[in-house]
Structure 1
């Protein structure tokens, strides 16, 4: 029984273990708060990604401190693993249209490498704590992000109106009613054909009724063309 205890605790004293757990929990709170702030400002990187990065960095910090006091200088191996896993994570990130996919997956890859290294050095309890926090928090914060930050995809909405028959204030109200938040607007006038064109980059939810949106925009002026890039 005593052997099992020492196998789990390694060279950790109770004070060191409590200290490590406290650091990990503080890191968890910090990662969530920073992620919430970023999502609240409609940024691509959100709660889950920054949570993973913060937890992994803390775990690697504990790992470096442990290695320095107990295993000479194994930091070269750890550094090589983290550098190499960065390339793997980078391969998971893809740019699709106006949006970036795979950032959270890349962070998960990095976090898994941190957990694996920590287990390899015998930091079982900190590694398992981070593992449990990740396993529980990812689905929870995914639901939170969907509920409170549904408009997280950037889309391009192109509209053409007869120049003298458009009320842009009504256009903005219409977009807001359909869950679209304006990020950037580009306006161009065609003097010869008397056509005004709007290119509007919007934050949009994953599902949107384009037919309803098209019909609603017709009430904002003489709409000549409607285009929505999904």
Structure 2
């Protein structure tokens, strides 16, 4: 399987990296969609594929000395998208984890576009792990904090 992938990557890298980015965005977006968050399926797929496309252009068309500018522009652009997801309502701030997830989605796409397939898949797995495993821990900690506050601590 990997030999076929590496063979394709040598012949037509763009034909490999864009579908891989789509898969990464699909996996991360599905988790957001199932939880009813604003950074939903289509957004994650589109951001991941766009980051991969831009990254593909950077590594194929730009001088290697300018790659940092290209990758930095991807991160900065998605940072602006993420900022639009963060909302403050009184003392409550919402959307930070969704914005952070979207930034990670772009990182996975950029890695895929830069031919760093293993890194793209690892970012995807780590983001899924963080959103699936850490969320229940976060909820438990909040409940405990609320209970401690109610007890007068």
TM-score normalised to the size of structure 2? Answer: 0.54
- Residue 120 of structure 2 corresponds to residue 127 of structure 1: yes
- Residue 99 of structure 2 corresponds to residue 106 of structure 1: yes
Q: How much does 1:82 deviate?
A: 1.2
Q: How much does 1:138 deviate?
A: 0.9
- Residue 116 of structure 2 corresponds to residue 178 of structure 1: no
Residues 180/79 of structure 1: CA separation in 2 closer, same or farther (3 Å cut)? farther
Segments of 5+ residues of structure 2 without an aligned counterpart are 11-54
Q: How much does 1:137 deviate?
A: 2.5
Runs of 4+ in structure 1 over 6 Å off: none
Q: Deviations over 1:191-218 (max 9, x none)?
A: xxxxxxxxxxxxxxxxxxxxxxxxxxxx
Greater C-alpha radius of gyration: 1
Q: Distance in 1 between matches of 2:110 and 2:121?
A: 12
Query: Over the residues paired in the alignment, what is the CA RMSD in angstroms?
Result: 3.0
Counterpart in the other structure of 2:82: 89
Q: Distance in 1 between matches of 2:74 and 2:149?
A: 49
Higher relative contact order (CA 8 A, sep 6+): 2
Of Structure 1 and Structure 2, the greater helix share is in 2
What are the residue-to-residue correspondences of 1:154-193 with 2, within 5 Å?
A: 176=148, 178=150
2:82 and 2:102 in contact (8 A); partners too: yes
2:107 and 2:123 in contact (8 A); partners too: no
Segments of 5+ residues of structure 1 without an aligned counterpart are 10-62, 154-174, 182-230
- Residue 133 of structure 2 corresponds to residue 143 of structure 1: no
